[in-house]
Amino acid sequence: MPNGTRRGTSKARERWKGFVQLWKLERATDEIDSEELVIPLIIVSFVTGALDSTCYADLATFASNQTGNIIMLSVGAAGLAPPGHNTLFNGISLVGYLVSAFLASSLANYFGTRLRFWIMLSHSMQVVLLLVGLILLATKVIVPRHVVLLVMLASASGVQVAQARTSKVPEVPTAMLSTPIVDLIVDPNLFKLSMSDPSVQPRNRRAAHIFSMVIGSFVGAFMHKASGTVSVMAMSIGIKVMVTCGFWMIRSPKEKEAMKQRRAG
């Protein structure tokens, strides 16, 4: 057999082995490198912005931005809340967020914060919570301004942020903006003319998170105005489902090392 044909056959066999390896269930127990989680978490930041916009438009309450909810609780307690504002919603969102974040972080620490199984389970839980809210809305069991929808959104956000914050990607919290913006501004490499230098990696990640969440907020707000809460939630669920499936496709460090050894051999 000619050398060129032999090499081509070897590469095809290697690709096939890689494809078969991809679907082995034991991959669920692999630990994913934090570097591989950056892009998925940045995409999730977009969803956070969209959902917080539609949640605020319906309920004058945030699902993820709990700083805003705590401020509104204090204003409400002082009797200074705007007319018609239901401060109870802020409290419900905060409680739902904290309880789900506590439960999710406990599970993360038990299973392993970057275990593929846990990451996919965490994002699946978010999808289920949002899907329940969407079904209730679409079937008109509840209206957008309903406490059940708020609980679903806040609980999904709590699980999401717990997963993000335990992933060892501190530059992409997926929910808050104040700290990442300040961290970006004070970064000594803010104006460094490079995209590949390791020293600018934190800057790039923060900038991508901020951009993604801001764009998501505007998309969510204008989509909500044009077609309502259901469309924003459907879009968000679709994106989260794709992100969740994408975690299965990520190669773990162990798999990358095995591939290198096979190629070297």
> Under a CB-based contact definition with an 8 Å cutoff, are residues 166 and 112 in contact?
no
Nearest to 205 by CA among 32, 35, 31: 35
User: Per-residue confidence at 17, pLDDT binned at 50, 70, 90?
Assistant: low
Question: 144 in a domain, yes or no?
Answer: yes
Residue at token pair 């077609």: 227
Q: Which residues, in sequence order, are bridge partners of residue 115?
A: 31
Mean pLDDT value across residues 74-88 = 91
Residues in the chain: 265
User: Per-residue confidence at 261, pLDDT binned at 50, 70, 90?
Assistant: confident
Q: CA-to-CA distance for 215 and 208, rounded, in angstroms? A: 10
Reported as a single tens digit per residue, the pLDDT across 130-161 is 999 999 999 999 999 999 999 999 999 999 99
Q: What is the pLDDT of residue 258?
A: 78
Nearest to 219 by CA among 48, 50, 44: 50
3-class SS at 31?
strand
Q: What is the CATH number of the domain that holds 99?
A: 1.20.1250
Question: 15 in a domain, yes or no?
Answer: no
Q: What is the pLDDT of residue 26?
A: 85
3-class SS at 115?
strand
Q: Is the pLDDT of residue 236 over 90?
A: yes
Domain count, the chain: 1
User: Per-residue confidence at 165, pLDDT binned at 50, 70, 90?
Assistant: very high
Question: 207 in a domain, yes or no?
Answer: yes
Question: 88 in a domain, yes or no?
Answer: yes
Q: Is the pLDDT of residue 7 over 80?
A: no
| Amino acid residing at 100 | S
Instruction: Note down the domain range covering 59.
Output: 37-264
Q: What is the pLDDT of residue 262?
A: 74
Mean pLDDT value across residues 240-261 = 89
Question: 95 in a domain, yes or no?
Answer: yes
Going from the C-alpha of 34 to that of each of 30, 103, 250, the distances in angstroms are 12, 22, 11
All residues at 6 or more sequence positions from 74 whose CB lies less than 8 Å from its CB, including other chains: none
Question: 14 in a domain, yes or no?
Answer: no
Per cent of the chain over pLDDT 70 is 91
Question: 22 in a domain, yes or no?
Answer: no
CA angle 217, 186, 208 (to 5 degrees): 35
Question: 116 in a domain, yes or no?
Answer: yes
What is the average pLDDT value for the chain, to the nearest integer? Answer: 90
